[in-house]
A = this chain, B = another copy of it.
Amino acid sequence: MRPYAAADIGTWDLTADVVIAGYGVAGAAAAVEAARAGAEVLVLERAGGWGGAAALAGGFVYLGGGTALQRACGFEDSPEAMAAFLMAAMGPGADAAKVTDYCEGSVAHFDWLVGCGVPFNPVFYGDPAWEPAGDEGLMYSGGENAAPFDEIAAPAPRGHLPRMENKRTGERGGGYMLMKPLVDTAERLGVKAHYGMRIERLVVERDGTVRGVVARSYGERVTVRARRGVVLATGSFTYNDEMLAAHAPLLSGRPGAAVEEHDGIAVKLAQALGAGVAHMDACEVALPMDPQYSIRGILVNGRGQRFVNEDTYPGRLGHAALFQQDNQAFLVLDEEGFEEAGRVSAAPEFMRMRPAWVCETAAELGAAMGLPPGALESTLDVYNRHAEDGRDPLLRKAARWVRPLRGPLGAVDLRGMTSGFALGGLTTSADAEVLHVDGAPVPGLYAAGRATAGIAAWGYASGISLGDGSFYGRRAGGAAARNR
């Protein structure tokens, strides 16, 4: 964990200009950009192959401001509208400078991905879902067109999804189709990768400059010299139980959308050099729930009260359930709603919603759910009263999805079903330099991806991790390559 003194290394086993730890999206983007800047690049990946959490992800990249894909789908957007949305939706605590930087560079970053061979199908998908039913390339992925964000910034869809090769089998999902072209590009540029190699320590000069890493490969110690810089891109600390207990205890026992390699090593190695961290308690959290169901019903907490507009980004529903409702949530829907959602749903089987209880009346359903008499009835009364007029003044769900819910009613039990990943991590500059707690860069050390506190503070949208991971991965690779 503690740095290793450069003076104590006799012969280096490996040497490159830029050494990158982790071959997920941040590492791949860093590799491409460093190689293009003329650096000899070596990637050390702990797993047996490239990909990381990115290759297993749905593949959303959160971009906007008027990308070619947005325009091809007929949507207008601006960096300002995108920044206004992100400041509201990624907060509280979103970093205004970083958000602005990201939004201003977003159009060019999309073009960069396309230039690396990432395919995007210029078709918009507008149905409620976690991801498109087919190979559509653009979707709302953050609740931009729902309350309260629709009043904060002009909505535009910003979930950019690489075109999948085989949606049915999932083997060529969007994340894979993002990663494969990036890795191919890196390989064409001469980037070398070593797999099964896990970083253990940073190597540091007496003046504090990071000079390389000590890794472990099949039990053997390997010393790796970085002539220009080390890029940390090993992902979040979601699978480090001790770090979850210290920072994000509500996520303990419920990791999701992360890989087991996410052990927080990069955060700790940099902290040992005095690096700062931010938003270590923040998490993205989801409920395994098809939005076609939830949008038609009402989501209630352990007291039978509604707490979120059901038409927003589905990740916000899980976040609110875990952080604000003690991980207690039920979806209440009527027979018509269940049937309609079942007909139109394109979600995988495990996200189809089945009621744990079905009753003729709200009173009976509330009793079956263990709620006090009157609790669920009054919630439904208020909802139905306004739904008659197509309105939801309590939470501002869009009129399109509001209609009275009439018995027989069913309730899906979602208690304790949240899972997710940690959003906190190292503080970094716009050039992806790791920042010491005094605000100055740690010389020779760069980081990107979920090892860092990126665009998201206490909020999230699908595509933010692949977005800021690739965006600041590029910055890290470029800055490291230019560092002499």
In the bound complex, how far is the Cα of B266 from the Cα of A437, in angstroms? Answer: 12
Cβ–Cβ contact A282 & B281, under 8 A: yes
Given known pairs A272-B438, A278-B247, A303-B306, the reply for A381 and B382 (CB within 8 Å) is: no
Measured CB to CB, the nearest residue on chain B to A382 is B374
A418 to chain B, nearest CB (A): 13
Cβ–Cβ contact A394 & B280, under 8 A: no
Cβ–Cβ contact B438 & A2, under 8 A: yes
A interface, over-half SS: loop
Measured CB to CB, the nearest residue on chain B to A274 is B272
In the bound complex, how far is the Cα of B457 from the Cα of A458, in angstroms? Answer: 18
Specify which of B92, B271, B278, B381 is in contact with A437 (CB 8 Å cutoff).
B271
Measured CB to CB, the nearest residue on chain B to A251 is B92
**Is A410 engaged at the interface, CB distance under 8 Å to the other chain?**
no
In the complex, the count of this chain's copies comes to: 2
Interface residues on chain A, size class = 35 or more
**Is A429 engaged at the interface, CB distance under 8 Å to the other chain?**
no
In the bound complex, how far is the Cα of B382 from the Cα of A79, in angstroms? Answer: 47
In the bound complex, residues from chain B placing their C-beta under 8 Å from that of A166 are none
A303 to chain B, nearest CB (A): 5
In the bound complex, residues from chain B placing their C-beta under 8 Å from that of A273 are 274
In the bound complex, how far is the Cα of B303 from the Cα of A393, in angstroms? Answer: 10
In the bound complex, residues from chain B placing their C-beta under 8 Å from that of A458 are 249-250
Given known pairs A393-B372, A394-B303, the reply for A249 and B281 (CB within 8 Å) is: no
Cβ–Cβ contact B438 & A92, under 8 A: no
**Is A68 engaged at the interface, CB distance under 8 Å to the other chain?**
no
Q: Scoring A residues 268 to 279 as 1 if CB is less than 8 Å from chain B, else 0, what string do you get? A: 100111101111
Q: Scoring A residues 248 to 275 as 1 if CB is less than 8 Å from chain B, else 0, what string do you get? A: 0110100000000000000010011110
**Is A427 engaged at the interface, CB distance under 8 Å to the other chain?**
yes
A1 to chain B, nearest CB (A): 4
Q: Scoring A residues 290 to 315 as 1 if CB is less than 8 Å from chain B, else 0, what string do you get? A: 00000000000001011100000000
**Is A386 engaged at the interface, CB distance under 8 Å to the other chain?**
yes
In the bound complex, residues from chain B placing their C-beta under 8 Å from that of A1 are 436-438
**Is A217 engaged at the interface, CB distance under 8 Å to the other chain?**
no
Q: Scoring A residues 303 to 332 as 1 if CB is less than 8 Å from chain B, else 0, what string do you get? A: 101110000000000000001110000000
Given known pairs A249-B458, A250-B92, A274-B2, the reply for A378 and B373 (CB within 8 Å) is: no
Give residues in A with beta carbon < 8 Å to B. Answer: 1-2, 91-93, 245-247, 249-250, 252, 268, 271-274, 276-282, 303, 305-307, 323-325, 372-375, 378-379, 381-382, 385-386, 393-395, 427, 436-438, 453, 457-458
